[in-house]
Structure 1
Amino acid sequence: MPRKSFVIASAAVAALAAASLGLAHAADVEPKIDDPVSLRMNLMKDAGAAVGIMAAIAKGEAEFEPRAVKGALLTLNAVALGFPAQFPQGATSETSEAAPAIWDDAAGFQETAAKFIADTQQAKSMPMTNADEMKAALGLVAQNCKACHENYRVKKN
């Protein structure tokens, strides 16, 4: 492997590892095909890792690597596509951070999820040749994370 490719690959792996450390609590939930709570918690872990890669690049903590960014955006889009289906009525648990507003305001939640899908679709097709372009894509998708967390996630201390 040429030196530059090794450095780029190492930076991407380091960014993913750093992002994953902050999400260790979600990794404690074994995904089960018949348990939407475990599936959505693992989806959120994957989304957090993807955003973590892009955030590390945006902060200058990792070198811009177009393949790592493209992978992160594809992950976010896949999460967006599968996420809304993981909230059937009453699908909650002690470990879930899903707020009752998800079911009380089902139309609002579905609208928020549809925007996440549309924005990740757009972001994954944006040009990705430098960190500034990546920051624009990150800003587009991150606004969805914030909106959903503020309105449809239980606030924990």
Structure 2
Amino acid sequence: MKRLLMSWGQSLCVGAVAAAVLTVGLSFSVNAGDDPIASRKAMMQTVKAATKLSVGMVKGERPFDPAVAELAVRAMNTAASGVVNFFPESSKTGGKTTASPKIWEDMAGFKAKMAKFEADTAKAVKAAANGADAFKVAFGAATKNCKGCHQEYRVKKKK
């Protein structure tokens, strides 16, 4: 019975991440002119959900599953590869966004940080097949990008 519940729980996790990946895919299909703020928020929420799932495996709070780990970081990688397309000049203001004006002042720097995140998440995708220890190292390197980008290109949320 315990094994059945574990399989069911793992299937649920895979389903949740698959839904997140689908969300990212659907976001990419939306023209950036339609609602770029909503599109990039959806992508970042996908990154957040995939990160949370991966952190659970890295910390040992849930069993490591290479398929789930790969799918989670693949979702992060997909978002990283396309989110820069959802920061047109027209989305600097309006809507609820925590995107800092510095993004548009330093678009090359922002794109460089996202390219590094994309490269590091691609490494984590490959590392997932090599076991929990390899994944932990690669995932850790990928998530270090989050703090750097958020500190530089995100307005702190008011509490």
TM-score tier by shorter-chain length is 0.7 to 0.9
Aligned-pair RMSD on alpha carbons?
2.6
Shift of 1:104: 1.1
Q: Structure 1: where are the runs of 5+ without partners?
A: 18-30
Query: So what's the TM-score if we normalise by structure 1?
Result: 0.79
Correspondence for 1:136: 137
Counterpart residue identity of residue 124, structure 2: A
Q: Which moved more, 1:2-11 or 1:122-131?
A: 2-11
Shift of 1:108: 0.9
SS of the counterpart of 1:99? coil
Quick one: distance in 1 between partners of 2:65 and 2:122? 20
Q: Does the CA-based 8 Å contact 1:15-1:52 persist in structure 2? A: no
Shift of 1:143: 1.1
Correspondence for 1:39: 39
Shift of 1:14: 5.8
Counterpart residue identity of residue 140, structure 1: A
Shift of 1:45: 0.6
Counterpart residue identity of residue 96, structure 2: T
Q: How is 1:1-157 mapped onto 2 (pairs within 5 angstroms)?
A: 4=3, 6-11=5-10, 13=12, 33=31, 34-91=34-91, 92-156=93-157, 157=159
CA distance 1:83–1:5, change in 2 (3 Å): farther
Q: Deviations over 1:19-39 (max 9, x none)?
A: xxxxxxxxxxxx664111000
Shift of 1:5: 6.2
Quick one: distance in 1 between partners of 2:70 and 2:111? 26
Q: Percent identity?
A: 35
CA distance 1:131–1:16, change in 2 (3 Å): farther
Counterpart residue identity of residue 127, structure 2: M
Q: Does the CA-based 8 Å contact 1:8-1:63 persist in structure 2? A: no
SS of the counterpart of 2:63? coil
Q: How many residue pairs were aligned?
A: 144
Q: Structure 2: where are the runs of 5+ without partners?
A: 17-26
Shift of 1:51: 0.6
Q: Does the CA-based 8 Å contact 1:70-1:124 persist in structure 2? A: yes
Correspondence for 1:27: none
Q: Does the CA-based 8 Å contact 2:67-2:128 persist in structure 1? A: no
The structure 1 segments of at least 4 consecutive aligned residues displaced by more than 2 Å after TM superposition are 2-6, 11-17, 126-131
Shift of 1:113: 1.3
